[in-house]
């Protein structure tokens, strides 16, 4: 606790969050990062997103998401990385409050959705290639078996 307080006092929130993560106090680590949104130390949405990705805890993600809906900078940061973080993109976008002007996040939302479409296309192509390759290998093996030749 003393080390965490010192890190917060000297404006080393990333260090304090790291200490919390290492001691298993995940929520406190995220709270430390989010508490800087109005302090002298500059709030860094990317640090909070990286922390949530690292700990990969649903409660930590929930805290970050709830906080982000109150801070447009966090909404922008999350939307920019939505395809690569552990959040349901449709749910996140749907829950953005009506009080946030659409113009302020529509571009990031479109980019995020295009990123997901790209990932889905790549996954589908990979699945098709692997399935075709596996079937071809099975077919070759089966034909060798039918002709009485040993498999290599």
pLDDT in tens, 36-94: 655 544 568 998 999 999 999 999 999 999 999 988 888 888 988 887 888 888 888 88
**Those residues with Cβ within 8 angstroms of residue 34's Cβ, 6 or more apart along the chain or in another chain:** 43, 48, 63, 64, 67
pLDDT for 57: 93
| Residue keyed to tokens 């889905």 | 120
| Residue keyed to tokens 């929520």 | 27
| Strand stretches in the chain, DSSP E | none
Neighbour count for residue 67 (Cβ, 10 Å)? 18
Q: Please give the structure tokens belonging to residue 73.
A: 């900078």
| CA atoms in the 13 A half-sphere facing the CB of 63 | 21
Q: Are 77 and 45 in contact (CB under 8 A)?
A: yes
The closest alpha carbon to 89, from 100, 99, 97, 78, belongs to: 78
Q: Please give the structure tokens belonging to residue 83.
A: 């395809």
| pLDDT tens track for 82-95 | 878 888 888 888 89
Q: Determine the average pLDDT of the residues in 6-19.
A: 72
> 11-20, 24-33, 54-63: which has the minimum mean pLDDT?
11-20
């Amino acid at each position: 606790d003393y080390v965490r307080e010192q890190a917060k006092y000297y404006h080393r929130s990333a260090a304090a969050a790291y200490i919390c993560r290492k001691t298993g106090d995940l929520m406190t680590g995220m709270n430390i990062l989010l508490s800087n949104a109005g302090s002298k130390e500059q709030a860094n949405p990317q640090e909070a997103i990286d922390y949530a990705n690292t700990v990969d805890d649903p409660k930590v993600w929930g805290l970050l998401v709830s906080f982000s809906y109150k801070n447009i900078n966090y909404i922008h940061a999350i939307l920019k990385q939505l395809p690569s973080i552990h959040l349901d993109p449709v749910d996140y976008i749907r829950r953005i409050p009506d009080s946030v002007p659409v113009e302020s996040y529509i571009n990031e939302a479109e980019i995020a959705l295009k990123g997901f479409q790209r990932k889905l296309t790549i996954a589908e192509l990979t699945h098709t290639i692997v399935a075709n390759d596996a079937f071809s290998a099975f077919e070759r093996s089966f034909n060798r078996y039918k002709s009485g030749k040993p498999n290599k």
